[in-house]
Amino acid sequence: MIVILTDDQGFGELGATGNPVVHTPNIDRFAAQSTSLVNFNVMPVCSPTRAGLMTGRDYYRTGVIDTYLGRSLMDTNETTLAQMFASAGYRTGIFGKWHLGDNYPRRAMDKGFQESLVLNGGGLAQPGDPPDPEDAQGAYFNSTLRHNGTWVKTKGYISDVITTAAIGFIEDNKTKPFFVYLPFNCPHAPHQVPTEYRKHYPPEVFDPTNFPSKGHPMAAEHNASDLAAVYGMIENIDENVARLLAKVDELKLADNTIVVLFSDNGCQKHNGYNAGFRSWKGSPYQGGIHQFCYVRWPGQFKPGHEVDRIAGNIDLTPTLLDLCGVAKPQNVKFDGLSLAPLLRGAAVNWPDRTLFFQWHRGDVPQRYQNCAVRSQDWKLVQALGGEGDKWPGKTSFELFDMAHDPFEMHDVATKNPERVATLKSAYDAWFDGLNRERDFRKPQTIVVGTKFENPVLLTRQDWHEPPPKKGGIGYWNLNVASSAHYSVKLLFAPLKANGMAHLNCCGVSLEQPIKAGENECEFKSIQIPAGDGRLEAILHEGSSAMGIKYANVKRLD
């Protein structure tokens, strides 16, 4: 089993989906060999999609709310696809972007992956990066990654590095059943790629007249340099997919290996070609959630077969378990369905169903904010409030006839009030059910003080920023596993003048002077009680107050 996931690649950024400019001959060939889920959907942003993929459940159920600020920490009670495969005797490996928690017990290595080479947080050159100043400008080259929990300095371009690691894992386990998860962090920003790939896409190729004009056409105003980097990153992925599949062929494993390839959400808003779909990443319109998904199993699935029933990332876990004959744990309840009969081309009675999509900033889901409800032929969208932490509650519902208007050009809500009411009622039942299951006001916590991870590096990926978010001041929600003595080391930008560091950790308040030019300080041998609490550190430099970059918490006894 191989699952390949790309990051922020839009539906229209493959040759197989109609892009006449991007060079993806290998993925295009793979697509032709595969069964295609032509009405496949994901969440508007990445952590939610990844949570649904790993669990087969609506991402809100998993505790994942957003992509950062402590909102992408998956509940520790969730059972992942990797754990299910590992329990069935599979060797499991992940190579790339996890984005569901960087600390025990949420790390990929804690959630079923026996081999892991992963980046921190939601991507490179982001707040989850380790405190390695060499990575600041060229994060996609010679990246610092975590190999089974230990930081390692890699050599080469990130997509090449993780693909090589995945190939090595396959070679090492060629005689055993294996599950390889290869989640690229490309083409996510920042758009860093070897220069030779950029050169393949001179500005003139992005003339909108070179692209199909159906639906919502490519904008006349676009950043050709940015698009060249994005397309170069995708071309590099294409070459790495070819390397991986060539190894599968070389080892004569192709006929007994299921390979899945899709992307986690729509493309970034760079005004590029989006296959005519409306809007971009972060949106519940089709441009944010409609995706390609190819599933190849030679001799089992018919090449070129298309499944037109609506499906989503939450369906992949039950589908893959079904195809591999792996039983679902009794305590796990899926929201997704097994698509195995559809992939096999069986004549089955497939009732209509409803899928739900939502994303916005904030710690607690808000009813109707930036959401969509999809049945086979109809889609209700309320797209207001996508980026705002605060939302006034204003709504504007639109209804689209997806069978005849796949590009969402015509709102027919006023002509179909009963259908609007039906889909809205389905959303209300879904939303109410989620809130009965989970108190979203209670945040996920980061565990410190265990033997499984000591010390624990806290990054700004997972802290909370209370409004008004000035000076980058935030705090981490902790669960202290046991009362003990701890050291807390703070890392920050060098102070320009003498100042003071103030630490409040689970009710223990301390301060320490800092000299100009210093970029770290350590509070040694602090007795911290067990239980839930916060770690907050504030630096005072004259009349200014600012936050820190990292905190390193180490249990001493």
d(CA 547, CA 473): 4
Fill in the amino acid letter for 428.
D
User: What are the residues whose beta carbons fall under 8 Å from the beta carbon of 96, sequence distance 6 or more?
Assistant: 5, 117, 118, 119, 162, 181, 182, 183, 184, 185
Beta bridge partners of residue 35, listed in sequence order? 295
What's domain 2-343's superfamily in CATH? Alkaline Phosphatase, subunit A (3.40.720.10)
In sequence order, the β-bridge partners of residue 121 are none
Q: 446-555: which CATH topology?
A: Jelly Rolls (2.60.120)
| Domain boundaries defined on the chain | 2-343, 355-437, 446-555
How far apart (Å, rounded) are the C-alpha atoms in residues 398 and 413? 5
Give the CA distances from residue 418 to residues 334, 422, 423, 424, in Å, rounded to whole numbers and listed in that order.
Answer: 30, 6, 9, 10
CB 3 within 8 A of CB 180: yes
Mean pLDDT by 10 residues, the chain (557 residues): 98 97 98 98 98 98 95 97 98 98 98 97 92 69 95 96 98 98 97 96 96 94 94 98 98 98 93 94 97 97 97 98 96 97 94 97 94 98 88 93 98 98 98 95 95 96 81 91 96 94 95 95 95 96 91 96
Please, are residues 545 and 538 in contact by the beta-carbon 8 Å criterion? yes
Q: Pull the structure tokens for residue 422.
A: 């039906």
DSSP string, 279-292: S-TT-SSHHHHEE-
pTM over 0.85: yes
Structure confidence at residue 465 (pLDDT): 86
Assign domain 355-437 to a CATH class: alpha beta
Based on C-alpha coordinates, what's the Rg of the chain?
Answer: 24
At residue 202, the pLDDT reads 96
